[in-house]
Amino acid sequence: STNNAGTTTDAAASDASSDTSNDAAATEAADAGDAAADAATDADASLADKKVGVCIYQFSDNFMTLFRTELENYLVEKGFSKDNITIVDGANDQATQTGQIDNFITEGVDVLIINPVNSSSAATITDKVVAAGIPLVYINREPDEEEQKRWSDNNWDVTYVGCDARQSGTFQGEMISAIDLNKNGKVDYIMVEGDPENVDAQYRTEFSVKALEDAGLEVNCLSDQVGNWQQDQAQQIVANALGQYGNDVEVVFCNNDAMALGALQAIQSAGRTVGTDIYLVGVDALSEALEDVLAGTMTGTVFNDHFSQSHSAADAAINYITGAGNDHYIGCDYVKVTKDNAQDVLDMVK
């Protein structure tokens, strides 16, 4: 479904320069015709020679891998040439990423899509990209309000595409408060957080617990630790917490699914059973987590819609290139996922 006119056109063009037979020329003409038909509008055609620089905070992140794969496919579908899309790995190091941004500026890309390593570096990044006259689309790690205000105050071509992390936290809490825990009148939980510099980690932690309180439940935090979005770190944290607090642990909140998968390994090793004597929720709707929700080995997750976010980011990039412009904030909704709708979401993400 991501067949793209850009690649077809490139292939036809290189065939034309290396093969002069009439048959080949006829085939090329037909291919070019197909390509033209595939390329829906004139605007698409003008994107084929535009350069896009994409900075990802860390390639090994599961969620950002889904995001960047879909982003590239969609950019190509929209008419960009694959050769003109450069996606780089910041390796979770802001200095590395800043160097990559400098290189893109020197190269003279037409637009930048940036998933910052540190959201707190956004002001520095914005300043240099704006000074270079390059439009900028931030993704996934939301710069703070003060930074976003500068974009609108100065009317800069800078925007953020993402979801409101408070919603994902609230959904997690609601899935837990819907269960009759029926123990000692309070919810004893473990929290496993993503990188605390990240607003997604802060808000998911805060709003999952707030949803329990809003439902009239008393809460008791047994342990709250940073797993940096990573499965192995979460496994260790939850194994230790289960060792320390044993059967007191009723709920494990994880700020994302990668960590929930690690938590599940620890829960199973400790001989506990999700859905019976312990409850576990994550965020993202990774396919592995969705399989667990269907099997009952995870209580629920929250779909972090990487299709919508990557498409909106690409569309925003196109709007800057064509001069149409963008709002300074482009939102997206999360979706609560329980056993009831996990198959539908799995069909969509697979």
Nearer to ligand BGC, 235 or 319 (CB): 235
Stretch that binds ligand BGC, among 57-65, 95-103, 122-130, 209-217 (CB under 6 A): 57-65
Cβ 76 vs Cβ 7: under 8 Å: yes
* Binder among 39, 44, 61, 330 for ligand BGC (CB under 6 A): 61
Check residue 77 for interaction with ligand BGC (CB under 6 A).
no
Cβ 30 vs Cβ 84: under 8 Å: no
Cβ 136 vs Cβ 129: under 8 Å: yes
Check residue 229 for interaction with ligand BGC (CB under 6 A).
yes
Cβ 240 vs Cβ 215: under 8 Å: no
* Binder among 241, 264, 274, 283 for ligand BGC (CB under 6 A): 283
Q: Which of 314, 258, 306, 283 is nearest to 140 (CA)?
A: 306
Q: What DSSP state is assigned to residue 83?
A: G
Q: How far is the CB of 260 from ligand BGC (least distance, A)?
A: 10
Nearer to ligand BGC, 9 or 256 (CB): 256
Q: Which of 161, 95, 184 is nearest to 312 (CA)?
A: 161
Query: What values do phi and psi take at 197, rounded to 5?
Result: -70, -20
Stretch that binds ligand BGC, among 9-17, 35-43, 193-201, 208-216 (CB under 6 A): 193-201
Cα angle 10-71-16, degrees, rounded to a multiple of 5? 5
Quick note: the x/- pattern for ligand BGC over 109-148, rule CB under 6 A, is -------------------------------xx-------
Check residue 198 for interaction with ligand BGC (CB under 6 A).
yes
Nearer to ligand BGC, 167 or 299 (CB): 167
The number of residues that bind ligand BGC (CB under 6 A) is 14
Stretch that binds ligand BGC, among 43-51, 61-69, 235-243, 289-297 (CB under 6 A): 61-69
Cβ 173 vs Cβ 211: under 8 Å: yes
Check residue 167 for interaction with ligand BGC (CB under 6 A).
no
Helix ranges (H only) for the chain are 5-18, 22-38, 42-47, 62-77, 94-107, 122-131, 145-153, 165-177, 199-214, 231-245, 257-269, 287-295, 306-322, 339-349
Quick note: the x/- pattern for ligand BGC over 248-277, rule CB under 6 A, is --------x-x-------------------
Q: How far is the CB of 14 from ligand BGC (least distance, A)?
A: 38
Q: How far is the CB of 162 from ligand BGC (least distance, A)?
A: 8
Neighbours of 82 (CB within 10 A): 13
Q: Which of 225, 348, 229, 222 is nearest to 283 (CA)?
A: 229
Q: How far is the CB of 346 from ligand BGC (least distance, A)?
A: 17
Cα dihedral across residues 206, 207, 209, 215: positive or negative: positive
Nearer to ligand BGC, 272 or 306 (CB): 306
* Binder among 304, 310, 312, 326 for ligand BGC (CB under 6 A): 304
Residue 3: partners with Cβ closer than 8 Å, 6 or more residues away: 38, 77
What does the binding site for ligand BGC look like in residue numbers (CB under 6 A)?
A: 61, 63-64, 140-141, 194, 198, 200, 229, 256, 258, 283-284, 304
